[in-house]
Amino acid sequence: MWIFNKREFISVVQHRDKPDHLMIRYRNVEHAEACTLPGEISVTPNADYIGRKVVSKTNFKQWMIEQIDNIDYDNYKNATYSTPMHEAPLMDVWSIMHQWQETR
């Protein structure tokens, strides 16, 4: 699962060895450091995702509830203008998905 919020982009997958945990993956170490999910950041420069955290599913569910409760905008793209996410490839993703919508 990919998640974008106003401050970060994360990739969330099942942890291979811990059924009750998720692997949270980051393309950017600053996003990992800024993320309020509990857990120690591991940095692997040559990996597909440079930063990772192991998080319990319970903690992730609580974090998602907090993300939902913190939505204070009626237009996501506009809400990112003053954040680092607007400088990130977010607008490229939006553009590609908009093009895909028009072909369906």
Domain ranges within the chain, ordered by starting residue: 2-73
In this prediction, residues 2-31 reach a mean pLDDT of: 92
Check residue 94 and give its pLDDT. Answer: 80
What's the pTM? 0.84
Check residue 83 and give its pLDDT. Answer: 79
**pLDDT averaged over every residue in the chain:** 90
Residue 19: pLDDT band with limits 50, 70, 90: very high
Check residue 104 and give its pLDDT. Answer: 66
Please write down the long-range contacts of 23-26, taking CB distance under 8 Å and 24 or more positions apart. Answer: 23/52, 23/53, 23/54, 24/52, 24/53, 24/54, 24/55, 24/60, 25/49, 25/51, 25/52, 26/50, 26/51, 26/52, 26/53
In angstroms, how far is CA 76 from the centroid of its own chain? 14
Do residues 25 and 3 lie in contact, with contact meaning Cβ atoms separated by under 8 Å? no
Would the pLDDT of 95 be above 70?
yes
